[in-house]
Amino acid sequence: MSPFPSLIILFFFTTTLTLPPPSFSSSQTKQTFIIQIQHESKPSIFPSHKNWYESSLSSITTSQNTIIHTYDTVFHGFSAKLTQQEATNLQSLSHVITIIPEQIRTLHTTRSPQFLGLKTADRTGLLHETDFGSDLVIGVIDTGIWPERQSFNDRELGPIPSKWKGQCIAGKDFPATSCNRKIIGAKYFSGGYEATNGKMNETNEYRSARDSDGHGTHTASIAAGRYVSPASTLGYAKGVAAGMAPKARLAVYKVCWNGGCFDSDILAAFDAAVADGVDVVSLSVGGVVVPYHLDVIAIGAFGASHAGVFVSASAGNGGPGGLTVTNVAPWVATVGAGTIDRDFPADVKLGNGKIIPGVSIYGGPGLTPGRMYPIVYAGSNGEHSGEGGDGYSSSLCLENSLDSKFVKGKIVVCDRGINSRGDKGEVVKKAGGIGMILANGVFDGEGLVADCHVLPATAVGAIGGDVIRSYIAAHKSLSVGSLPTATIVFKGTRLGVRPAPVVASFSARGPNPESPEILKPDVIAPGLNILAAWPDRVGPSGIPSDHRRTEFNILSGTSMACPHVSGLAALLKAAHPDWSPAAIKSALMTTAYTVDNKGDPMLDESNGNVSSVFDYGAGHVHPEKALDPGLVYDISVYDYVDFLCNSNYTTKNIKVITRKIADCSGAKKAGHSGNLNYPTLSAVFQQYGKHKMSTHFIRTVTNVGDPNSVYKVTIKPPEGMVVTVKPDKLSFRRVGQKLNFLVRVQTREVKLSPGSSLVKSGSIIWSDGKHIVTSPLVVTMQQPLD
């Protein structure tokens, strides 16, 4: 893989934004660029836009440059590989606006329908009122699909919706007959990947929409998998597997390969999906947060949203630390992860009788019941590390770091980090270890993820890991001549777990690093230990040496949470065809809940404390309530433009995102960027010696409930602050009517050290006695650095 980022270039025949030339170590190094062009400017002498693009390339270089992708729906232009000098030549042209470094994105790696209250036996409700999402199309941008899985059968499905314009593109081990009335479209985009990495190795990945990873098959079946029974993974989680919208159609856009997911390919997938006629885009992929005009996912998602397509994206797995949330554009539904009321206990029993709770979905031959095995900490003896190893490498059970003489026949304690959890088990197994205990570090806290390990293994929290390591160290200091002992007790599947949901430890957290006035994530959904379909040629651990085969697998990540919301959005779109993407998101947010199944505030898995709005946003999705939210906060393209203007984006940068000339002259009437008509309210106060501070929010709600309804407000102010709402009563005469209200927040300076902040939250709740419409209100006080 090239050490240099690919770059995206955006063309318009307008004015020029002067930027420094892109930096490369070699003038002959070629990189991928994406060029955006003002479509209407095509000279008539060119029969097609592609001819025009090729002419544009030849005008700035004498070398042969092949077009990788052309874009004409959510984005106008093309992509190609260019040298430093060619990029500089392009930048000097009057119609070049900006050059954007391309990101290489990464994947954010069933009882959940029942946990969410979607029950097939009900004769009313979201599933039945929408015919299980039958005529809606969900576009999944991911690693492809394994079409033969029963989750994707088309039995009793009607004809393909007449609006559909997509195709089933044949490729390696993927004939056009792989599609059916369930999978109605399949395309793959590898131009950007191969432009940087060279021709793909077709012995270990498919040049087609077929999935060689498993991630895409899993996420597609979460969103729209059919009912399959019996379903389980290695005997765990037995029952019926089903997606959120079991009759919704699937369109697959493969953009992720062994080398990652490349922006030029992702943009091509967005372009194709919207042109094909999808209703929802599901994207469980992300990268670092950059301004929206430099973010291809944000740009593609804006074009999709403008076309009426709902875009759901994973929040990322960077939790539990703050400021880790990704995919934060306000026109994207950003989804974090929570637990469900099912887990897979596998406890560690130590020789001193202590029991350490753990989790696992190991399904092979277990340890002998009642027998205790020698236990060692992989990092306790650097002199025992394998070839090229050291104490640090061995503590993490990295490749070739373990000495087989030290670990053979023993249970090995490995620290979490660097390599994958499954890889650690394989390293232990290769070295002769009989089992593994995977211990969280301090940063991971108590959040546990169950894995299909290749040997008897379990995962324990940071506290449990410390107890186990202390036991090993104490036993060693006694010099009793015998080794410390332990065993792992696998207890299968446990249902009815309380409390649930809990915010998953890995789920990325706010505040929003790009737009602090927009609370992110938006919601959370089930994302821990989720059962869904799995390819036939990939072992459940995802390790090449794992030759076990299973129709379903259990995975965790915001990658799994995102398609839950994608499927729910399809159901809501089917129930309310006239709702915009913003209205659908509003319905999911204002009806979300923040208490668990014990009736207590939702907890944070990483530390057991009460979670916050930066962990879960508006809360955990509640599909049945979202069907009838009463009021929605709708947002137009013009509202987003005002938001970008008030966020200090230049008109040129706004045009990169919206493809339209922006007029910021009226944006100040909207007040500030926090006045975007968002279902949540977030205020940030900078304490520049001010003793009293205040701000206001203007919101517009649309009645989608009952005519002649009266909503009264309940204010739960953040502690120590004064919040007023005017008017305090909204009287609607008809469905579709819009009414405005103003929220004013007043606070006093608090004592903070330089550079620190204080966050307090409350809520604004409207109710007509039937509907409850909740908007979180979060206030951040920041003390500037001296």
pLDDT at 172 over 50: yes
Confidence at residue 214, expressed as pLDDT on a 0 to 100 scale:
96
Structure tokens at 59: 């005008």
pLDDT tens, position by position, 650-668: 999 999 999 988 999 888 8
pLDDT tens, position by position, 220-279: 999 999 999 899 999 899 998 999 999 999 999 999 999 999 999 999 999 999 999 999
CA distances from 184 to 140, 214, 405 (A): 12, 19, 55
The C-alpha atoms of residue 449 and residue 468 are separated, in whole angstroms, by 18
**Of 56, 135, 142, 604, which is the active-site residue?**
142
Structure tokens at 633: 């906060």
pLDDT tens, position by position, 314-326: 999 999 999 999 9
- Burial class (CB within 10 angstroms; exposed 0-12, middle 13-18, buried 19+) of 383: exposed
**Of 401, 507, 559, 709, which is the active-site residue?**
559
Confidence at residue 481, expressed as pLDDT on a 0 to 100 scale:
65
Using pLDDT thresholds of 50, 70 and 90, give the confidence band for residue 366. Answer: confident
Q: What is the mean pLDDT of residues 374-399?
A: 77
Active site residue 536: no
Confidence at residue 349, expressed as pLDDT on a 0 to 100 scale:
98
User: What is residue 454's three-state secondary structure?
Assistant: coil
Count of Cβ atoms closer than 10 Å to residue 217 Cβ: 31
Confidence at residue 12, expressed as pLDDT on a 0 to 100 scale:
27
Confidence at residue 245, expressed as pLDDT on a 0 to 100 scale:
94
pLDDT tens, position by position, 589-602: 999 999 999 999 99
- pLDDT mean across residues, the chain: 90
Given the structure tokens 């498993």, which residue do they identify?
Answer: 214
The C-alpha atoms of residue 536 and residue 557 are separated, in whole angstroms, by 21
**Of 69, 95, 215, 218, which is the active-site residue?**
215
The C-alpha atoms of residue 403 and residue 428 are separated, in whole angstroms, by 10
Using pLDDT thresholds of 50, 70 and 90, give the confidence band for residue 82. Answer: confident
Active site residue 142: yes
pLDDT at 415 over 70: yes
Q: Estimate the share of the chain in helix, then strand, then coil, as percent rounded to the nearest 5.
A: 25, 30, 50
Using pLDDT thresholds of 50, 70 and 90, give the confidence band for residue 18. Answer: very low
Q: Is 50 within 8 Å of 42 (Cβ atoms)?
A: no
Q: Note every long-range contact of 652-656, with CB atoms under 8 Å and residues 24 or more positions apart, other chains counting.
A: 652/14, 652/15, 652/17, 652/97, 652/98, 653/98, 653/291, 653/293, 654/293, 655/12, 655/14, 655/97, 656/10, 656/36, 656/97, 656/98, 656/293, 656/299
Residues in the chain: 786
The C-alpha atoms of residue 670 and residue 742 are separated, in whole angstroms, by 12
Active site residue 49: no
Q: What is the mean pLDDT of residues 547-572?
A: 96
Predicted TM-score (pTM) of this structure: 0.91
Q: What is the mean pLDDT of residues 459-486?
A: 88
Percent of the chain with pLDDT over 90: 75
Count of Cβ atoms closer than 10 Å to residue 604 Cβ: 23
pLDDT at 2 over 90: no
